[in-house]
């Protein structure tokens, strides 16, 4: 791909800068307005992943595959594309909200190691 290994915070900054460039921050928003919008967008991406699963399309090439090939990229499956969208939106949100996402992910992972199996019997 030609990318040099970057930290999660560096990737978040890149993702956020692209979101600004592509017009996702043209309107002034309070943190409350932004969180509402980003939660809706994250929910949409999760729903798109679920829809791909429901329609047995998870491992089929996504609807943007042809354009990806034309741009010289390896095309993604629906599963790959939607998981990437979820991560991209989360990273953009972290940067917008001033969250050190790298520290947050590593701390939460470390905390999850202390939790019991299925966090006390949860089914999912």
Q: What is the pLDDT of residues 69-97, one digit of tens each?
A: 999 999 999 999 999 999 999 999 999 99
| Domain assignment present for 5 | no
Q: Return the bridge partners of 77, or none.
A: 61
- The structural domain count of the chain equals 1
DSSP codes of every residue in 61-87? BPTTHHHHHHTT-PPPBHHHHHHHHHH
Domain limits at 97? 10-18+29-113
pTM: predicted TM-score of the whole model, two decimal places: 0.91
CATH of the domain at 71: 1.10.287
| Domain assignment present for 106 | yes
Q: What is the pLDDT of residues 3-30, one digit of tens each?
A: 688 999 999 999 999 999 999 999 999 9
d(CA 58, CA 14): 27
């Amino acid at each position: 791909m030609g990318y040099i290994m970057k930290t999660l915070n560096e990737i978040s900054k890149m993702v956020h800068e692209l979101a600004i460039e592509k017009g996702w921050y043209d309107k002034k928003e309070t943190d409350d307005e932004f969180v509402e919008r980003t939660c809706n967008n994250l929910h949409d991406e999760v729903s798109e992943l679920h829809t791909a699963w429901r329609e047995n399309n998870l491992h089929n090439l996504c609807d943007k595959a042809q354009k990806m090939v034309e741009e010289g990229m390896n095309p993604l499956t629906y599963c790959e594309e939607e998981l990437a969208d979820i991560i991209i939106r989360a990273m953009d949100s972290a940067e917008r909200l001033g969250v050190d996402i790298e520290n947050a992910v590593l701390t939460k992972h470390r905390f999850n190691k202390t939790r019991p199996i299925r966090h006390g019997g949860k089914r999912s």
